[in-house]
Amino acid sequence: MSRGNCNYKWFSLGDVSASATIVFDNLTNMAVIAFLLTIVFGMPSGIVLKHIIPGLSVGILLSNVIFIIYAFYLAKKTGRDDVTAFPAGLDAPSCIGLTLSVVGPTFLLFKQNGMSPDQAALTSWYISSACCFFIGFVKFIVSFFVYKIKNLLPTVALLGGLAGVAIGLIAFMPLISMLEYPIVSFAVLSVIVMVYFAGFRLPANLPAILVAILLGCIIYYTFHYLVSGSLDLPTLSSVQLALPMIDLHMFSYMPMASKYLLIALPFALLVIFGTLSVTESAQVMGAHYSSKTLLMADGFATMMMGLCGGTSQTTAYAGFPAYKKMNARSGYLLINVLLIGIGAWFGLVGYFIDLIPESVLAPVLFFIGIEIAMQVFLICDKKYYAAAMLGVFPSIARMVAIKLISGPGADAVTKSITDVHEGKLNGVLAIVSFGNGFIITGTLWAAIMYYMIERKFYAVFVTSLILSIMSLFGMIHSVLLDGAMYWIGNLEPSQRLVVLQYSIGYLLFGLISIAIYIISGKKQENNFH
């Protein structure tokens, strides 16, 4: 076919199959956010279903529409009639990670400080939307020089920090919920494990997640009926019009949001590096998409999502090869736009959450957590496994801290966080402070181990120095319950002692590493190689 002259066939039967997957992925991500906020954190459903969910839909719709236009452009440019539009939607790690590390904890904190649940939810929502806008802005700016930053951090550092989030927050917390109704959750988990880990296929290639959820709901409601004598199905009260609207109040909360931007930043970096990876996988299949263009569109969509009340981010999906094999074109994204719009704007997501029990969704989250954590072992050389594992522990500390803060002993936690006796941190303070800034800590801890393995000891020292400076100002290891940054002079003497211990400890780590390298480095290096 001649270049530039193409009658693009934008819809095929493959779009129908592809749409089922991408629609379900996006609805599941929105449902997970709504579930975590309303069920786990107890946030009023009005804010979640009438503002956050419609706001999230804006990012999905904009990214999909732009990617459809991009597909038409490529079809015209290349003269091909079989161009597959690049898939896009909500970023699953961000949906869960930002909800568990920013939206939910800020809500609990403000409520604990005396705000009413509605006011705490409103404040948390504005702060989280500001973080969402910030993430989009970072992605948009970085898009202009994305190829130059590819080697900023080793892959294992990014994946190690993410693995910690996956294990500590995404997988373990749902595991607790699974054990409330094991008769339900174990049945759901069996379907997921057999298909996605053992490699079996369901009849007619039915989507495993959909089958697992349907099976779980049948078992749950049957069990509930046998025990209580009623199905207790949700009403349609949540089905109501909730259109997204631009709300500029978010910008007035930017100073309050600033303390959480360092938590949000790694999620932006993960999508940036992820976009580079998925673009390369598409190019292998002959689809010459530009990482710069995809990331620019993604950043714009995320910024608009933040302006409309969204609390996560969009991303270019990794499933392009699968959709290409399905012979999908652009139609599947158009179907996604229509169904996501209807689902989010008419309250169907809320009904979806009410209908599907926690014990059914929890195994899905558990599976997502394991799948994300596995990436570090699939992508990285085994000699870097220790580095990846080192990056896991800060997220585990954060998970424990969330449970402590939100549990029945929250008041005791608040009191004990200032308890420092003769320079020794008590267990609660150690857990809370170590978990603050967990993603950055996990990423840089993994990076340090990577540099040691690669014998890059000056990089070890520089990274230790960065950690030392960050801990000095509360960017990581904040001694405040909300993880806020501070000027060390404004802290209590006992708190300053904790901060100085972290800061000097990291500095000593770097100096001792350099000293050992200088004293015996050459000999050890020769033996190593």
- Do 405 and 413 meet the contact criterion of CB atoms below 8 Å apart? yes
**Closest listed residue to residue 24, CA positions, set 83, 75, 89, 114:** 89
Q: Which of the 8 DSSP states describes residue 203?
A: G
Residue carrying the six token digits 């966080």: 417
Give the per-residue pLDDT at 128: 95
- Do 341 and 18 meet the contact criterion of CB atoms below 8 Å apart? no
**Total length of the chain:** 529
| CB neighbour class for 361 (10 Å; exposed up to 12, middle 13-18, buried from 19) | buried
Pairing status of strand 314-316 against strand 420-421:
unpaired
Could you tell me the pLDDT band of residue 127, with boundaries at 50, 70 and 90?
Answer: very high
Per-residue pLDDT at 522 exceeds 60: no
The mean pLDDT of 290-294, rounded to a whole number, is: 91
- In the chain, where the domains are located: 13-209+246-373, 384-524
Q: Is 128 helix (H, G, I), strand (E, B) or coil?
A: helix
What does pLDDT average to over the chain?
85
Number of Cα atoms under 13 Å in the Cβ half of residue 98: 38
Beta bridge partners of 88: 316
Tell whether the torsion through CA atoms of 324, 329, 330 and 332 is positive or negative: negative
Q: Which residue has the higher pLDDT, 525 or 122?
A: 122
Phi, psi of 421 (to 5 degrees): -110, 110
% the chain with pLDDT above 70: 91
Tokens linked to 448 = 């340090």
Q: Which residue has the higher pLDDT, 378 or 309?
A: 309
| Single-letter amino acid code for the residue at 525 | E
Give the per-residue pLDDT at 61: 95
Give the per-residue pLDDT at 1: 41
Q: Is 88 helix (H, G, I), strand (E, B) or coil?
A: strand
Crossing angle between the packed helical segments 393-406 and 104-112, to the nearest 10 degrees: 40
Per-residue pLDDT at 365 exceeds 70: yes
Give the per-residue pLDDT at 417: 63
Give the per-residue pLDDT at 471: 92
Per-residue pLDDT at 173 exceeds 50: yes
Give the per-residue pLDDT at 111: 92
Least confident of 147-161, 363-377, 482-496: 147-161
pTM of the predicted structure, to 2 decimals: 0.70
pLDDT tens digits along 392-437: 999 899 888 877 776 666 666 666 666 666 667 777 888 888 988 8
pLDDT tens digits along 189-228: 999 899 878 888 888 777 777 788 899 999 999 998 999 8
Cα separation values, 162 from 34, 94, 119, 133, 459, Å: 22, 10, 32, 21, 21
Give the per-residue pLDDT at 408: 63
Other CB atoms within 10 A of residue 252 CB: 10
**Closest listed residue to residue 88, CA positions, set 61, 53, 54:** 61
Q: Which of the 8 DSSP states describes residue 370?
A: H
Give the per-residue pLDDT at 411: 64
Q: Is 202 helix (H, G, I), strand (E, B) or coil?
A: coil
Give the angle 104-304-98 at the CA atoms, nearest 5°: 20
Could you tell me the pLDDT band of residue 2, with boundaries at 50, 70 and 90?
Answer: very low
